[in-house]
A and B are shown apart, each in its own frame.
Chain A
Amino acid sequence: MTLRDVVITGVGAVSPLGIGARTLHERWTGGACGIHDGEAPCAEFAPTDHMSAKQARRADRSTQLAITAGDEALADAGWADELPYDPELIGCVLGTGIGGIGTLEDNHDLLRDTGAESVSPLAVPLMMSNAGSAALSLRHGLRGPVFSVVSACAAGSHAIGTALRMIQHGEAEAIVTGAAEAPLTPLSRAAFGSMGALSPTGVSRPFDDRRDGFVMGEGAGVLVLEAGDSARARGARILGTVRGYGSTGDAHHITAPHASGRGGARAMQIALRDAGLVPTDVDYINAHGTSTQLNDRAETSAVKTVLGDRAGTVPISSTKSAIGHLLGAAGAVEAIATTLALRDRIAPPTIGWEQAEEGMDLDYVPDTARPLRLANGRPPVALSNSFGFGGHNATLCLEAA
C-alpha cells in the first residue's frame, strides 16, 4: 500500500508571545521572551475578541485558546469561507495534558463551599479532555474522526502524528490537529511545584548549566494537515510536509527519563526511518528542552545517539526558552514554530543560554537566530521532540515546502 503524503496548509497559535502563529515565529526568532514573573501566560488573549460571549462561556480557557488558534489555522489554509472536502472526510484530533483543569477547580470550590447543587451543568462539557476537539468540530462542521489524545507533555506531537497516520491511510482527506493547555491555575501550580518540576528562580534556561526547572505557560497551536495530492489539486499554499513520526515508551520511571535518553532516541530514529531519511538529512532539531536537569541532559544524550559524530554540528534549540512549557500544547506550538523556521531557513535561538554543562556540548543556538546551512538546495528537514511524564516520547519529522 502506498501511503499518501501529508502537507501542512495552515497554522494558528495563541502563545505567551502573542496572538498568531507568525507572531510566535517572528518574536521568538527576534529573541523575545514571553515569560514574566516566573510564568508564561497568554497575556494578549481576551476570549471575547475571538468568539461570542456565549461561545466563550461554553469553553474552558484551554478550549478558548484552541478555538482561536483553530480559526487562524483554517483561515490560513484558505478554509474560512468553505471546507474544501466532504466534511465527513475532515477530522479533528487535538491533544491536551490535563484538559479543563480551571473549570474543575472552580467547580470543586463550589461543591465544597455551597454544595452539589451549585456545581455548574457546564462543568462536564467544559472540563472533559476532548472539549477542544469537540469545539472545533462543532464550530467548523468537521464530521470525520474527532477525538483527543492525552499523553502529558507529548500530547501535541502525538496528536499531529495520529493525524498524519489517519491521512496517510486514507481515513481522512484532512485533519485539523494540534493541542491546547491552560494550566495556570492554583492546583496545577501547586501540584507541579510540589513535585519540584518548576523553576524556583522563574527562568526557563534550557540546556544551560544553571537550569533549575521549567516555567509553566499556556497556549494552543492548531495545524491544518491535508493529503498532499488533494491539497495540490485545489491549489493550496503548502507550508511544509509532515514527513515522519515516531512514538515510544520508556518503561523506566513515571516522571524521570532514562539517563541515556534511549526512549527519546528511538522516537527520533523511528521518525527518521518513517520519513525515509537518514541522520545526515537532519538540518535542525526543535528540542523538548524543558529546562529541567534531567530532561535536557537525557535529550542531549539522545541526540548524540541518533546523530553520532554529526551531533555537535546540527543546531538544536528550545522554544521553551521563549514561551515556557505549555505542557500538552507544547508539541503543537513547537511544530508550528519549527515549520515556519524551516520555511525561512533559520534556526531560532535558545534564549538565555550562556553556560555549558560538562558533556552537554551540542550547538544550542544561543540567543540569536541564524541561517540554516543547507547542502544541495533541498528543502530543510527538522526533528521536533516531545517527551511526557509517563515515559511517553513522540518525535515529528518536518520538512519545508
Chain B
Amino acid sequence: MATTTQPKDIEAMVIDSLATFGADPDVLSRDATLEEVDVDSLDLVELTQVVEEAYEIDLDNADFKQIKTVGDIVDLVVERVQG
C-alpha cells in the first residue's frame, strides 16, 4: 500500500478502500454522502484499520461522529496525518 501523505494520495486510498468494501465505484466521489455510497459503521471500522496501518495514526469511533461525506473522511485522515 502506498503511504505517501499527499492529500490526493490519501483521497485515492480512501476511495479505493471503500470500493474494495463494495461501495459503487461509479458513485464514489468526495461529495458523495455515506448513505449514497452505502457505507456504514462496519465499513468505517474497516477503513480505520486500513488507514491506521498505512499512516501510523490513531482514529476512534468518536472521530467519525461528524462524518457525512467521503470528503469528510479524507479530510479527517489528512488532518491526522499532517497533525
Contact = CB atoms under 8 A, between A and B. Distances in A.
Do A and B assemble together? yes
Interface of A: 52-58, 117-118, 120-122, 125
B22 A53 contact: yes
Contact of B42 (A55, A56, A117, A122): A122
Interface in B9-40: 21-23, 38
Among B21, B23, B38, the most chain A Cβ lie within 10 Å of the Cβ of B21
B22 A121 contact: no
A54 B46 contact: no
A54 B21 CA distance: 6
B52 A121 contact: no
B6 interface: no
Taking chain A's interface residues, is the majority helix, strand, or loop, or is none over half, making it mixed? helix
A54 B52 contact: no
Contacts of A57: 21-22
Interface in B41-83: 42, 45-46, 49, 52-53
Given A54-B38, A122-B42, A117 B52 contact: yes
Contacts of B38: 54
Interface of B: 21-23, 38, 42, 45-46, 49, 52-53
A131 to B, nearest CB: 13
Contacts of B42: 58, 121-122, 125
A214 B23 CA distance: 41
Contacts of A117: 49, 52-53
B22 A52 contact: yes
Contacts of B46: 120-122
Given A52-B22, A54-B23, A120-B49, 15 more contacts: A53-B22, A54-B22, A54-B38, A55-B22, A56-B22, A57-B22, A58-B42, A117-B49, A117-B52, A118-B53, A121-B45, A121-B46, A122-B42, A122-B46, A125-B42
A118 B49 contact: yes
